[in-house]
Structure 1
Amino acid sequence: MSPGPGLHRTVLPKSFFASGANCGVRRYRPDLGIITSEKEAVTVATYTTNECQAAPLIYCRELLPSRRIRAVVTNSGQANAATGELGLQRNFAMAEAAARSLGVETSQVLTASTGVIGHQIEIDKIVQAMPELIARSTNVAENFALSILTTDLVPKAVTTVVRLSQGEVRITGICKGSGMIHPNMATMLGYLLTDLQIEPELAQSLLREAVDQSFNMISVDGDCSTNDITFFMANGASGVALKDEEDYCKFKDALFEVARFLAQAIAADGEGATKLIEVTIRGAPDLELARRAARGVTLSPLIKSAIHGANPNWGRILARLGAEKVPASCLQKTVISLQSVAVFADGSPLEFDRRCLHDQLKQSKVQIDIDLASGKEEAVAWGCDLSKQYIDINTEYS
């Protein structure tokens, strides 16, 4: 996926640095990464809704929100979830090792883990690798983005520059995610960094809304992870603050654009995926219904399988809308379009060139547009097709 307008790769905001390296947990890939800030950063987070939460999330919840964070260290390959008291101790030791190498307090270092549930992190390897990891830090994101991958095929990082009344600020987004992805923050790690000056309360509000419109609107397989967390770090190094409503709107739009780009990148990189699916619900009577319906369509294995086979089976979409409690009165007015071709309207199927639409559904991005014609609310969700490769990947992953 290419960056959208105004987005490019991936020099970090001022005074942020990042690194990724192999500490020996995984044989051929980077498996340990760190993001650092020379200045103390306002930091907030959102977390998975799974009741079974990994050690890093338990640790981070105790520290955030904060004005004093200096680093986030992340290991991949071992989730440190369902690992008991020893898992909590090893998570703290990972933060402690990073703090020692940086010369900061342990409470200024956050943690994240991704990998196989039930596996303790190999803390001795992590501690030994920490000084060199930090010494190799640069102001670009790529090595860190590589270090946090699991079943992902590609790293995901992007930066945008926002011109405000006092000057420029930069926003960088980095994430990982490929499988176990379902709305409400599932198997993904996200890092949103900026050199803007901002208060924790406003940062939390912006992050929550950005996540609701992006990461919470994607689905790969419907499974909700134990490890998901998205960090928003703002170190103020630009010296620029939000002075008026225009500044606020510009920054908010840019932050949301970065988050949506990353969300689509995760969906497009879903395990075994060959196509990105974008579902747009328009004309809904309320926002919650619009979001629920859009997410429901992306989640359906029947719809995902049909899209994989370029099969314009609109009946599965209509059935899913009903299952998501779209009222019958709305369904009677609904228009369903695939790749801008209307296939269903006013309670009845429409004539269309099936062979032509079949060919259009072979494209790498499939757009499903649904107009409920019952209000003004709309929502967009993203998912991917379901292929045989998804089964192969998850049969072998352990």
Structure 2
Amino acid sequence: MTPGPGLHRTPLPKGFLASGANCGVRKYRPDIGVIISEVDAVAAGVFTLNECKAAPVQHCAKVLPADNVRAIFTNSGQANAATGAEGFKRNQEVINATAEALKCTPEQVLIASTGVIGVQMHTDKIIPALPDLVERAQEHAESFALAILTTDLVPKTVTTAVKLSQGEIRITGICKGSGMIHPNMATMLGYILTDVKISKDVAHTVLKAATDVSFNMISVDGDSSTNDCCFLMANGESGVELKNDQDYNAFKKAVTEVMVYLAKSIAADGEGATKLIEVAIKGSPEEQLAKTAARGVTLSPLIKTAIHGEDPNWGRILARLGAEKVPAAALAQMDLTLQGIKLFTNGEPATFNKDEVRTLLKSANVKIEIDLKSGPHTATAWGCDLSKKYVDINTDYS
């Protein structure tokens, strides 16, 4: 996989274009973006489980999956959540105007929003800027990736080429997310684009499975957003189909790898974060237990602050596992390893050099490994440390 940004310019799959521009909602950076397929594309989506769903989320959840999508418009600055009937009206006005600029029908346009909750979309600024936004669309991801950022420090893109039995396809991923990250499908938006030829049912199945082990396994602050969504668009422009199980499995694996890469990039860019935390659990008697326990460790403020302070306080991890209903029998025989050093083994404290572990915790990447020795199931979750800067960012956000 080739990551962006930096010196890498992230190419889009065949038949896709993207653009970002400033329409005046934000002062200094792009605030609207569009992804365009030059032909009708299959599209699927997964969305927040928060009961307070933003207008764009409710719209897209009704129309997906579909096989005739031409574009996804996104604005940053206003989430268009908790905005009442007027919010739905403005949502549709932007969809209609985007369709007009693209010379397609409104039914072919998807929409996503990110920003402050309870603020109406500035349609007076957005709509006049749409023709120019469409006109400047190019075959790479960067301008769109910049346009969707809120408190993110860096844009997040990645691309990969996959050889299948009929030829090569490309998969490009773009996402944003830094705060209000605790997806159940953070503010998190994800876009997976590919030129493979698939059905909308396959797109939905692959997207859902990949989401469950990627975006649904990250947490920054435990707050699920009103606007979380992730889209998979496939326009078939490579001419390559999934002809057999080997092709299907290779495609699914590549989509999952792209989404895991993006999920980790969100966790690493968490608001105020200085460290990416990876929690790997094995030996669980149940798959769901492994997932909830791993996510629980990444979510704990006590653990997050200990990692930030480079304190190998393994007792906090053990306590969190118990709170996540890991059986007492498993806790009584488990191993716990931090940065490759065993701190707890066979249910008892291990002897270790605390200064050595403190030094290892200075790394920007921290790994916690837990072996419950109670079954065949595994799970991995990602999060970040909790710093004083997180408070500063969220005090000033609105």
Q: Classify the TM-score, shorter chain.
A: over 0.9
Instruction: Please state how far the C-alpha of 1:2 moved relative to its aligned partner.
Output: 8.0
Aligned counterparts of 2:172 and 2:73: Cα–Cα separation in 1: 17
Q: Deviations over 1:92-147 (max 9, x none)?
A: 11111110011000110000000000000100111110000011100000000000
1:156 and 2:156 correspond? yes
Aligned counterparts of 2:388 and 2:41: Cα–Cα separation in 1: 44
Q: Which residue is 2:43 aligned to?
A: 43
Q: Is the 8 A contact 1:198 1:241 kept in 2?
A: yes
Contiguous gaps of at least 5 residues in structure 2:
none
Q: Is the 8 A contact 1:161 1:169 kept in 2?
A: yes
Q: Is the 8 A contact 1:74 1:148 kept in 2?
A: yes
Q: Is the 8 A contact 1:9 1:157 kept in 2?
A: no
Q: Which residue is 1:20 aligned to?
A: 20
Instruction: Please state how far the C-alpha of 1:61 moved relative to its aligned partner.
Output: 1.7
CA shift in 2, pair 1:76/1:181, >3 Å? same
Please give the residue correspondences for 1:167-316 in structure 2 after superposition, counting only pairs within 5 Å. 167-316=167-316
Instruction: Please state how far the C-alpha of 1:397 moved relative to its aligned partner.
Output: 0.7
Instruction: Please state how far the C-alpha of 1:183 moved relative to its aligned partner.
Output: 3.5
Q: Deviations over 1:48-103 (max 9, x none)?
A: 00000001011112211110000000000100000001000101111111100110
Please give the residue correspondences for 1:136-147 in structure 2 after superposition, counting only pairs within 5 Å. 136-147=136-147
- Give me the TM-score of the superposition, normalised by structure 1: 0.98
Aligned counterparts of 2:105 and 2:367: Cα–Cα separation in 1: 49
Aligned counterparts of 2:33 and 2:254: Cα–Cα separation in 1: 26
Aligned counterparts of 1:9 and 1:350: Cα–Cα separation in 2: 47
Q: Is the 8 A contact 1:9 1:159 kept in 2?
A: no
Q: Which residue is 1:97 aligned to?
A: 97
Larger mean Cα displacement after TM superposition, 273-282 or 197-206: 197-206
Q: Is the 8 A contact 1:185 1:224 kept in 2?
A: no
Aligned counterparts of 1:182 and 1:254: Cα–Cα separation in 2: 24
Deviation beyond 2 Å, 4+ runs, structure 1 = 1-4
Aligned counterparts of 1:126 and 1:103: Cα–Cα separation in 2: 18
Instruction: Please state how far the C-alpha of 1:286 moved relative to its aligned partner.
Output: 1.2
Q: Deviations over 1:208-239 (max 9, x none)?
A: 01000000000000001000110000000111
Q: Which residue is 2:78 aligned to?
A: 78
CA shift in 2, pair 1:291/1:113, >3 Å? same
Aligned counterparts of 2:256 and 2:64: Cα–Cα separation in 1: 22
- Give me the TM-score of the superposition, normalised by structure 2: 0.98
1:365 and 2:365 correspond? yes
Please provide the CA RMSD for this pair. 1.2
Aligned counterparts of 1:362 and 1:144: Cα–Cα separation in 2: 34
Instruction: Please state how far the C-alpha of 1:347 moved relative to its aligned partner.
Output: 1.9
Aligned counterparts of 1:136 and 1:268: Cα–Cα separation in 2: 31
Q: Is the 8 A contact 1:217 1:291 kept in 2?
A: yes
Aligned counterparts of 2:188 and 2:348: Cα–Cα separation in 1: 40
Aligned counterparts of 1:116 and 1:183: Cα–Cα separation in 2: 18
Q: Deviations over 1:322-374 (max 9, x none)?
A: 00000000001110000010000122111101001100001000000000011
Q: Is the 8 A contact 2:2 2:159 kept in 1?
A: no
SS at structure 2 position matched to 1:274: coil
Matched letter for residue 31 of structure 1: D
SS at structure 1 position matched to 2:113: strand
Contiguous gaps of at least 5 residues in structure 1:
none
Aligned counterparts of 1:292 and 1:99: Cα–Cα separation in 2: 42
SS at structure 1 position matched to 2:87: helix
Q: How many residues in Structure 1 have an aligned counterpart in Structure 2?
A: 395
Q: Deviations over 1:153-189 (max 9, x none)?
A: 0000111000000000000100000000013142200
CA shift in 2, pair 1:251/1:330, >3 Å? same
Aligned counterparts of 1:128 and 1:79: Cα–Cα separation in 2: 19
Matched letter for residue 89 of structure 1: K
Aligned counterparts of 2:244 and 2:282: Cα–Cα separation in 1: 31
Q: Is the 8 A contact 2:3 2:10 kept in 1?
A: no
Aligned counterparts of 1:27 and 1:208: Cα–Cα separation in 2: 36
Instruction: Please state how far the C-alpha of 1:376 moved relative to its aligned partner.
Output: 1.1
Q: Is the 8 A contact 2:310 2:362 kept in 1?
A: yes
Aligned counterparts of 1:3 and 1:331: Cα–Cα separation in 2: 39
Aligned counterparts of 1:276 and 1:3: Cα–Cα separation in 2: 17
Instruction: Please state how far the C-alpha of 1:20 moved relative to its aligned partner.
Output: 0.2
Aligned counterparts of 1:185 and 1:83: Cα–Cα separation in 2: 23
SS at structure 1 position matched to 2:53: coil
Instruction: Please state how far the C-alpha of 1:3 moved relative to its aligned partner.
Output: 3.8
Q: Is the 8 A contact 2:297 2:321 kept in 1?
A: yes
Aligned counterparts of 2:379 and 2:62: Cα–Cα separation in 1: 33
Aligned counterparts of 2:287 and 2:116: Cα–Cα separation in 1: 36
Aligned counterparts of 1:3 and 1:125: Cα–Cα separation in 2: 33
SS at structure 2 position matched to 1:390: helix
